[in-house]
Homo-oligomer: A and B are copies of this chain.
C-alpha cells in the first residue's frame, strides 16, 4: 500500500468512463421485464373542481392495464418535498396524488398504464372530465387580498401558507440611529432547473407488497418514508434507489420528482407489473418544481461612514399551487441574507403565498439568490447615497468569524475579505469609475455582489446523515451513504474522503450512494450538504473502524491500544519491534480470527457558511438593450477543497445558471394561467454564446466543523451572480432596473426612460 495525500487532488470522476462512452444508464433507459408505461392527464385550467370523470373508454382501449384517478387512489395528504420539518408546526401538507380540485395548469387528474407510451397517450384522450371552473389568481400580492380566490384553507391569512418573522436586536431603533436610510423593492421571476434529464421513475411491487422505486430523487430516504406514509406501509417495506446515473438535479428532485414516484407506484400496484413513468420536457416545465418568484423589499440604515445600523427585509414569495419546500425556502432567504453583514438590528418578514401557478420549491440556493439580488443591489444604492465605493462599504461591514448573527451555529471561518480583494483586483475594479463612453453604441460596466450560504440543512430541517463503512477482508473499503450523486461528483469526492480518513488508496475504496436498502438514513443531497454532511459521517465511521483496528492490534501485539497508530497504511507500535502490520495484513488476520471491521458513522450536527464575492464586467448595447457578460470573477471560500476540478465545475455551472437568472430566464403566465415557457424554444437558458470568461478564485480556509476542513459549494456560486450583474448594468447605464430578468426589453426601457 502506497500512502498518498488525496485531499485536494483532482482525481478523475468515478463515472467518467461510462459517461464518456455513452453507456451510462439513466432512469428512462432501464427496461424491466414486463414493464408498462405510464402517462398523466393534466388540468387545462388553473383552478377547477372535477364534477365528474369517466374513464370507461380509456379502460376499454386495448393495451391499457390501469386507469387511476382520485376515485381509486390513496387520499393521504402529503408534501411532495418529502420534508419532515424540524418543528412539526412548520409542516405544511397540502397535496394528494389526485384530488377533486385542480389548482394550476398541469395539475394531475388521472394516469394510465399501458403496454406502450403511445397507447397510454391515446388513452388519456379518452378520459372524459367535467369541470366546474373556479376563479384563479396568479400574483402573490393579489392572492393575499381577502377577496382573492382561496386555494387552501390557511390560518395565517388568505392563501398564506407560511408567515415567518426573524428578529435580532431592535430594528426600529436601528433605523432611528441611522443617518442614511434607503429602501427599495425588487421583483424576481420564476426560474426553472432545466436539469438535462426529465423527471422519471420506475415502480415495481412484489407480491408480498414490498415496493421498489428507481428514481433520480436527491433524497431517497425521505422519499421512501413519504411513499410508506402515502401507501400505508412500514418504511422497511419500501425501497427507493437511484438508477445508475442521474442527469442533474439542482433541487428539482428533492423529495419526489414531480409526482412520478407515487403515480408509478399506484399504477404498479394496480397492474402488478413494473411501470415506467417518464415526463416529457413540457410536463417537466409545467408540472414540476420551479424557483420561487416574488417581491422583495430591502431597507438599510447606516451611519455616514457606512457603518450599518439596521436591516429590514420583506419577502413575499409565490409558492404556486402547493407549499412543497416553500417554508424552508423563505426561511433560508431570510437567515442567509441577514447574515452577510454585521448589522446589530435586523428584521426579516416573509410570506409564502399560494397562487394558481406551478408549484415553486427548492432550487439551488433555496431563496438565497432572490434575497441576495435585492440586498446586494440595495448595498450599491446605499453606497451611492453615502458616496462610498461599493467594495469599501462591503469591506467595512462584512461578518467576521465569531461575530454575533441570528444563526444558531457559529461563523468559524471566513475568507470573504480576501475574496473581495482578490476579486476586485482580478476584475480591475478601479476601471469601474472610468467615464462611460459608448463604443458602437455599447457601454461597459463593472459590478460586484457578495454573500454567504450554508453547508447543511439545519436549523431549518432535520439534518442527520449516517454512513456505513465495511472494511473488506483484503483491506479494501465499501462505503454506503444515502445521498445522491446526480452529476455533481459527490461519489468521487466522498471516495477521496474515505480513502484519506482510513489511509488507503482511492482505488481500493468504493462508495455506494442513493439506495435505501444499502444505507442508513440520510437527508440526501441538498442544501450544499452532500460532501459536508456525508463526508463527516464517513469520517466518523472511519474513526470507529480505526479504533476497532487499534483494539484488535493491541490484542495481537500485547500492548495497550494507546501505544498504536495507523499511518501510511501501516499499524505500528511506538516501539516498532513490539508489532507492525500492513493495513491489509491486519484485515486478513482479523478475518482468520472471525472479525470484520465495520461501523456506522454519524455526522456532526453542524453547519458552516461558505463565502462568495462575485464580480461581473458587462457590455450594454444602448440601441437594443442587450446585455453581454464579458468577464466574470468568482472568488470563493468553501473551506478546504477536496477535489478542485469538481469545485471549479460546480462554480462555473452555477455562475452560468445565475447569468440566465439575471438576464433571460423566466416563466410567465397568461390570463388563463398557462405557462408561456414550456420548452427550451421559449425558455431562454444561456447558451455557449452567452457564456462569459469565468475566472474562479479559491481561497481556502480550514473549517473546523467540516470534513477535512471543507464547507458547502454546490449552491453558493449562484447566489450573488444576479446582484453582481445588476450592479454592473447599473454602473454601465447609470440607472437601475430592480426586476429580473434584465432582458433587453427591460434594459432598453430603462435606457429610454433615463434618456427622457
Chain A positions within 8 Å of B, measured between CB atoms, are 14-15, 17-18, 21, 23, 25, 29-31, 33, 84, 86, 88, 206-208, 210, 225, 228-229, 234-237, 244, 272, 458, 462-464, 466, 468, 470, 472-478, 480, 507-510, 512, 515, 517-518, 520-521, 591-592, 594-596, 598-600, 605
Contact = CB atoms under 8 A, between A and B. Distances in A.
Contacts of A14: 208
B18 A206 contact: yes
Given A208-B18, A512-B517, A521-B470, A464 B234 contact: no
B517 A225 contact: no
Q: Which of A206, A229, A235, A476 has the most CB of B within 10 A?
A: A235
B473 A235 contact: yes
Given A17-B207, A210-B510, A480 B517 contact: yes
A208 B480 contact: no
A18 B209 CA distance: 10
Contact of A596 (B206, B466, B592, B594): B466
A637 to B, nearest CB: 26
Contacts of A591: 84, 462, 521
Say whether chain A's binding surface is mostly helix, strand, loop, or mixed: loop
Given A478-B236, A510-B210, A520 B84 contact: no
A23 B207 contact: yes
A595 to B, nearest CB: 7
A328 to B, nearest CB: 15
Contact of A208 (B15, B229, B458, B477): B15
Q: Which of A18, A272, A595 has the most CB of B within 10 A?
A: A595
Contact of A592 (B21, B88, B474): B88
A436 B553 CA distance: 68
A323 to B, nearest CB: 19
A594 B600 contact: no
A463 B521 contact: no
A474 B207 contact: no
8 contacts: A30-B33, A234-B476, A235-B472, A236-B478, A237-B510, A458-B594, A462-B594, A473-B521
Nearest to A18: B207
A235 B587 CA distance: 12
A376 to B, nearest CB: 33
A480 B515 CA distance: 13
A558 to B, nearest CB: 21
A325 B23 CA distance: 40
A598 B466 contact: yes
The 5 tightest CB contacts between A and B, nearest first, are: A234-B476, A235-B472, A464-B594, A17-B207, A236-B476
B236 A510 contact: yes
A541 to B, nearest CB: 10
B473 A84 contact: yes
Contacts of A468: 468, 600
A595 B15 CA distance: 32
A17 B272 CA distance: 13
A477 to B, nearest CB: 6
B228 A474 contact: yes
Given A14-B208, A229-B474, A470-B520, 14 more contacts: A23-B207, A25-B33, A84-B591, A234-B475, A234-B476, A234-B510, A235-B473, A235-B474, A236-B510, A462-B591, A464-B595, A466-B598, A470-B521, A473-B521
Contacts of A463: 594
Nearest to A521: B596
A595 B522 CA distance: 10
A220 to B, nearest CB: 13
B236 A477 contact: yes
Nearest to A462: B594
B464 A236 contact: no
A476 B244 CA distance: 27
